[in-house]
Amino acid sequence: MSYGGTSGTATLSLTDAIVAPLRDGDTLPWRDRWQATIHSLDLVPDLGCDIGSRSWWRGFATLGVLILSAAATFPGMGALPGASGPMLDANDWEMARAQAIMPLAYGGDTGLHMAATDSVQPLAASPERPHIELTATLGQGDGFERVLLRSGVGEGDAATIANLVASAMPLGDLEAGTQLNLKLGRRMDKALARPVDALALRARFDLRLEIERVDGALTLHRIPIAVDTTPLRIRGRVGDSLYRSARAAGAPAKAIEAYLKVLATQLSVGRDIGADDQFDIIIDYRRAETGEAEAGKLIYAGLDRASGKDLRMLAWTQGGRQQWFEASGVGQSRQGMSAPVHGRLSSHFGMRRHPILGYVRMHSGNDYGAAYGSPIFAVTDGRVDYAGRKGGYGNYVRIQHGGGLGSGYGHMSRIAVRSGASVKRGQVIGYVGNSGLSTGPHLHFEIYRNGRPVDPSSVRYVTRAQLEGSALAAFRAKLNTVTRVAPGAALAPMHIAKAANTAPPSEADRLPG
């Protein structure tokens, strides 16, 4: 509200309008006085102003009340109560699983009857189908016998069929996605499961199994499937892109990726391969007489270069480890040498004052400080030339690596190899100790070139496997066999004489139903 006067216009608040008469000595009713007091009371003042005043303490009290109220109503951090009860039994689990949506390749078994509602009127009698044909799929992690039971096969027939199939191959070898073609016959009573009249499945790429009921007994028939294992060879010009050209020629993507990795171990794929070079890829390949085909792993990687040395690499297993070898029998190289022990370098190669003898002399290796008993590793492949006690070295091992190079390991607490033994890179040959002339647990590591010690930090090993003798002859024979395969030979029409599969079943293949 406002009022006019000689000094201008002023604004009067509602609180001032109520309180003003009191200042002039007038009185107001108690209700008006109470409202005026409430309107003038500020419970939430700015606590950053007038610190220590009455209004500030009033706001601080309001803040305390709010904090205490929040704490009093805090629900706590305990676990929420949940309903407890028994887990699903077998029947409830099967019914719940039937309602799930799953791919057939993973064992989807939708289609079980749901519980009837009040609108369903049961029939007094219904016609019985003479037989039912259906297809069941073995899911990942599923059980063979469980698939049969889920498909309506009785427990007796399911156990018998499982035993028959197990006599032909382990049930665990059946792959996920295997389809079972079932034919269920007529039953004498609706309360009973239908008997199995026939079952067929592709057990392996080269084997089909058929089971039929003959004179009341289930009989197994093994039907071999002829398979052509001619490798698939794909050749072509590199052009603008090796990957796109190989894909256009029909090579699988995974085989091309493996091929490029093999090439990368011998040359630079982006710099050393020209557009006029010819790629040569050979992979494992299987074709069944029924028309199915499977492409396997890369077994040969070749590159016919327009300029430069041609590349011919064959996958070969040597010493229990598969690697790629060149046509000359030389395997892949491994660069550098591994650390002889997990520890810190405490003393370098060169002249130094001996900590025990007290005079300056040549320190012929590097010292690595490590905890007592820490394992010591061979830096690369080789043969143990010496293992035993050796003067100031204490327990000592010397390894010859070929090409005039050798390594020595001293002050061991215990030796883990014998003289004459072959060792691999990273193999434990002993343990850190304090034997010989030593002031504490550490490894004295040396590198020899033609019998003379050299600075270990100046040596970088390059190890390459080399086939010799009978192993080299077998490798070259396999290489010649593989490279004689003509490009596209694996895709030629199959000419296989089918053998009759009419032999009577053996007693092991005939079990009562």
Dihedral of CA atoms 476, 479, 483, 489 in degrees, nearest 10, equals: 130
Tens digits of residue pLDDT in 413-442: 999 999 999 988 888 999 999 888 888 888
Q: What is the DSSP letter of 245?
A: H
* Sheet with 196-204: strands ordered across: 132-137, 179-184, 196-204, 207-214, 217-224, 510-512
State the pLDDT confidence band at 503, using cuts at 50, 70 and 90: very low
CATH number of 232-336+483-491: 3.10.450.350
Residue type, 365: G
Left if phi > 0, otherwise alpha if psi is -120 to 50, otherwise beta: which for 86? beta
Residues of the chain with pLDDT > 90, as a percent, come to 28
**In CATH, what number does 344-460 get?**
2.70.70.10
Nearest Cα to 295, choosing from 367, 342, 211, 232? 232
pLDDT grade for 283, boundaries at 50, 70 and 90? very high
Please report the DSSP string for 439-464 in residue order.
Answer: SSSEEEEEEEETTEEE-GGG---EEE
Nearest-angstrom CA–CA distance, 101 and 245? 41
Report the pLDDT value the prediction gives residue 291, as an integer from 0 to 100. 85
Predicted local distance difference test score (pLDDT) of residue 255: 92
| pLDDT at position 487 over 50 | yes
pLDDT band (50, 70, 90) for residue 282: very high
User: Would you state the structure tokens that stand for residue 28, as one six-digit string?
Assistant: 């107001």
Q: What angle do CA 460, 462, 466 make, to 5 degrees?
A: 160
Query: Helix or strand or coil: residue 376?
Result: strand
* 87-103 pLDDT per residue, tens: 677 777 666 666 666 65
Number of other CB atoms surrounding residue 209 within 10 Å:
21
Distance CA 374, CA 395 (A): 14
What's the pLDDT tens digit per position in 15-70?
A: 444 444 444 445 567 777 777 776 667 777 888 888 888 888 888 888 888 899 88
**Of the ranges 9-13, 22-26, 159-163, which one carries the lowest mean pLDDT score?**
9-13
Task: Name the CATH topology of 129-226.
Answer: Nuclear Transport Factor 2; Chain: A, (3.10.450)
Residues forming a β-bridge with 126: none
What separation in angstroms does the CA of 442 have from each of 92, 374, 410, 413, 480?
A: 66, 9, 9, 10, 52
Report the amino acid identity of residue 366: N
The residues of the chain that CATH labels 3.10.450.350 are 129-226, 232-336+483-491
Residue 321 near residue 424 (C-beta atoms within 8 A)? no
**Residue range(s) occupied by CATH 2.70.70.10 in the chain:** 344-460
